[in-house]
Structure 1
Amino acid sequence: MSGAARDDRTDTAAESTSSSTPVAQLSRDAARAQVEALTSRILELRDAYYGRDTVLEDDASYDEKLQRLAEIEREFPELQSQDSPTQTVGGRAESTLFDPVTHAERMLSLDNVFTPEEFAAWAAKVERDANRAIHWLCELKIDGLALNLRYERGVLVSAATRGDGVVGEDVTENVRLVPGIPNRLDDDSVPDLVEVRGEVFIPKAAFDALNGLQREAGEREFANPRNAASGSLRQKAEGKNAAQLARMHDRLSRLRMLVHGIGAWQNPPVASQSQIYELLSRWGLPTSDHASVRDSAESAAEFIRYFGEHRDSVEHEIDGVVVKVDELALHDELGATSRAPRWAIAYKYPPEQVNTKLLDIVVSVGRTGRATPFAVMQKVRVAGSEVRQATLHNQDVVKLKGVLIGDTVVLRKAGDVIPEVLGPVVELRDGSEREFVMPTHCPECGTELRPAKEGDVDLRCPNARSCPAQVRGRVEHIGSRGALDIEGLGEIGAAALTQPEVPATPPLVTEAGLFALTLEQLLPIEVIVTDSETGLPKLEADGEARRRSPFRRARRAPLPGQEPTKSKPDPPYDPTGPFDGDEQFIVSSAATGLLDELEKAKTKPLWRMLVSLSIRHVGPVAARALADHFGSLEAIRAATAEELAAVDGVGPIIADALIDWFAVDWQVEIVERWAAAGVQWQTPGHPGPGAAAAAGGVLAGLTVVATGSLEGFTREGAQEAIIAAGGKAASSVSKKTDFVAAGPGAGSKLAKAEELGLRIIDAAQFAVLVTQGPEALDEPAAAGE
């Protein structure tokens, strides 16, 4: 998935995190409520950014939420948990696409400053703490994807994304196709083990060329180079045909990497960060030409100022400058917080601004029915990409900004990612401009718009069941990585099934019929490609709406065993005609592939099924908790609000949302029709809710932690095997842990288990444990005696 996707399911949470009340004036209950809301929203933003390559808010808004959370936690330290976003790094390592890899040394993030004054204050504090002269290594902050390369005896053995800083995704095979990354380091000074950290990116010229190919193919363009790099690297070769593999390899060949540091390594023969760069370059690794060592903080500030004014001169996108203490000895002295080193900082540049013409303001409807005004502008290039639309949030924001249709407006890329209209250039008005009037009815289905509750600024379409825009959004959500992860059910696939040009009646009026789709329903379908945010048609070079036929019949072919004949020409081929049993059609792989993916999705874990239902507030964390505790949808539906709320990770708000969702008949119909089509609504072997889970099974009453790569089990499969055997699948090691199943890549959890003297088993023993119980583990030893 790439590009900025439409997602407005957490409007209430987003509003509740923007309180301007000074932290010192908050009551404890108000502080707790803000901590919960902020944590939920920040984790959602991280999951979207790191897990789905999707940007839901700009950097500045994200940073404000993180800073607000940190302020509240400083004032109310008892509200800070170990897994708070202020204490953790990046996204959560829950991908189903790639195997997990545990980094030998944790990958930290960086704290940010945004003004020269903030940078000067940070540098002064570091100098005071160091109490000696400091040299500053300055380098450009690449807008790409953080990567960890692990070399053993000079050979590249793994490449992994940062993930949550401890566990990332294994993208080794794809990284081998990226030019400039050596598979072997040939130098006598290479240690037996070394982790090399860097950033994968796509150069500006390659990004423009790639988007040109996307346009020619009628596919979605990448929103920015960072999404292009991440989306290209996080692809699976499995299941692709020859043409798709060729495109995948072409995209990977456009990527580049620059390395900027070391993780774990043995016997470092250097004294400074800049010497590390010299060493990495000698080993044959790609390093930046723009790094510079400065002998004062003032000189480092000059470096920052220079590249702030010459960003366009760099071959790749940058969003700031990273400044590090060059002396390695000071790194240990200065130390680090739980998420960032104290010896380095990222200076974030303000986004670029340009002027353009506001041609129109249109209203689009999202998955939750929220009606959002969008600015449609004369296309303009800003911060490295072309922009023609930007969100205006709601009618009050339009009034606040003071923009009129026809204005020349000031546009920027907030966080260099999301386009934002700042306001009009009033001096350039000529009297032809006109005010925007918010529509009273849904532009998609004609239903009267209204607030969800009294006092809400946002207007919503209440026709949730059959508003085409809302159905489309929910179907796209079902196919997303965070839900059922269905290949082919992205932006275009969802639009084709719910809002096609051909046929007149869409295959899906609601998502209830998704798992009962047939090949006949999919052939043929044509759809106008629209922007995922605004709903506006994407245009060809000549201004015509861009059309695609993702599911189509290509041509008539002989039946198996039947030879083609030249003497008897084929009758005219009608691509819309019915199947008559006497002919065979060669159909697009997209149609058959989608049906295959839907069939596989029927048996995906219960928690993913719950997420796919678009129940308000039920994201992956709550869904896992519900699935682990109850084991089936039937048990969840039978539970009272009090029983639901008592589940760790659920609480009363989510409990009420579940009760409300199942009280709506058309939503219950989705569950029933999916079940009739073969969807599995239970965890196989789960003994039942609550206490019943501990009452039966070979692991009844036992707690097991699975870490690393266990042969024969995926990460989720190992957890589900523990639960199916009646045990508790814990995510952290403690004195209460009975067994730790550890495979290759096990890191800190294995070390903690050894420290506590816990029972550690391998993959083969784990398979015995979850099927036969702990007694079976001791049988071979007893036989040997």
Structure 2
Amino acid sequence: MTVLETIQSLRTELNQHNYNYYVLDKPTISDFDFDAKLKQLQDLENAHPQFFDENSPTQRVGGTITKNFNTVEHEFRMYSLDNSYSKEDLLDWQTRCQKILGDVSLEFTCELKYDGASISISYENGKLVRAVTRGDGFKGDDVTNNIKTIKSVPLQLNNGFPEKFDIRGEIILPFSGFEKMNQELIEIGETPYSNPRNTASGSLKLQDSAEVAKRPLECLLYSMIGNNLPIDSQFEVLELSRKLGFKVPNESKLAKSIEEVFEFIEYWDKNRHNLPYETDGVVVKVNNIHFQEELGYTAKSPRWAMAYKFKAEQVSTILQSISYQVGRTGAITPVANLEPVQLAGTIVKRASLHNADQIAKLDIRIGDEVFVEKGGEIIPKIIGVAQRGSQEQPTAYISHCPECNSELIRNEGEANHYCPNYYGCPPQIIGRIQHFITRKAMDIEGLGGETVALLFNAGLVQNYADLYDLKKEQVVVLDRMADKSAENLISGIEKSKEITFDRVLYALGIRYVGETVAKKLAKHYKNIDNLANATIIDLITVDEIGERIAQSVVDFFQNLDNITIINKLKEVGLQFELNEVSTSVSNKLEGKIFVVSGVFEIYSRDDLKKAIEDNGGKVGSSISAKTNYVVAGANMGPSKLEKANQLKIEIIDEYQFQKMIND
């Protein structure tokens, strides 16, 4: 078998495994074996760049930076749907269709209405060529690079595809992925996302496709548009889409009558909460494609389709009190304490009030009867006042921390109030230590969040460095702490000294420094002292580090208490230096900062960045006056090109770069 045949065989096999896992949910290979085959393909493609294919499975990791999304005209307009909210509305719609079509027997395709971001994906000769957002229906944004990272979107179709067509669907974020993303945000002291739909929509416009690749997005398809397509009905569209490799939910139904449509609606109105993703209704379509063409369109909507919207489950209950929680970063979160009420299958006792602005906007007062909804079917929230209670004065937001009584601050442009008592406010101290011990950070076996609170309340720890002073006899007397448990705790603390520098850096709890950022900073600065001495200007030259993160890092290391704690952690033996095998090839690029932009032929973007660093250079994420060179490939971002020209920074291609390091 030739090299090209091997590459093509691996691509076909990996595409099938992706389809089995992400579309059928029936994997036939272990993650380890899949990764091994993917690595084999990557190595072959790198060694033989003449066989590059932008739709190879290796390209799904992203990495392309898009500063400005090009506006693209849809070949076939994307219409919106008319909404209905009752059976009477649907009967009226059926009557209108029947009036235009005459005395014919109508069948209907019923599909769940997915609550996501609309997308149109174009395929030519079985290959994905473009993905465009809905926009205004006539034009949308080209988000092809981001869509290619979604593994349920096929890059190469199975046999039997039309020569050219667009397929339409919704980009959604399943509940499980949404909850995981929010948990990660909470761990780094960030505000969680409000709902899956907005998060999915916002993901499509992220500038770095590598960030999109990290998000567990899915694409659910429901429509195929094109000229002379080999289909006669909407139900055939769904079946053909599945055969070609698209993810099409199985909940759809071919209804022989409007009565069967009503049965479908009634069933899913009751059972939609069991679905793994958001749905807010049912889309009913005249099944016959020729009837659809005859019915045509209004100025905004197809006459042959109607969306039936479920009523958002909503209840009213009494607001008994408002409590205020303090997070580990000092952010204050107001929480509504409610008279218990059943909502969407669960008993709700508390609901989010977000911040002072939200309380003032809704004019919520203790004693009010309030409407409660589940935002995104997950997080209970108050959406309004049903009936005013006895409280005459508007709710006054607290001015002092409920835990330490420090006066709260609110920074300009921020929605949240903060307690500034970083080292004296108990929930902040406990929260930072709880973050420090988590699995992704120091992973201290035998030590949980409740035990941290016990240690703090017993006066045994005031910060995470104090953990390393603990003795078995001190902890064994704590509640529910047996002799063996105390032994395991001390052993786990000792073992944590082996944790690598990037995880130690994440464990420190610097605001906005999550796992990924910690890895990038550790790799770039090599040790804690280099990072502590970095300026904001230095930091923003690091790939993916913006001003907000840079300012937070600088602020952290300017605090003398933090430096004292780090020095203590150094003394007890934590890893504050990156122990990696040097890949340095030369120092030819020492002192030079490069920015990489575009698509390349002989390098992947990651390989190009690695070559810069291996030869002593630094890779910047954005162009500034300190940038020495821009390495530009095809489709270089126009804003980067403009800025490079303004600052008179030399632009070179990958061949000139290769000559630079080889000379």
Relative to the length of structure 2, the TM-score reads 0.49
Relative to the length of structure 1, the TM-score reads 0.42
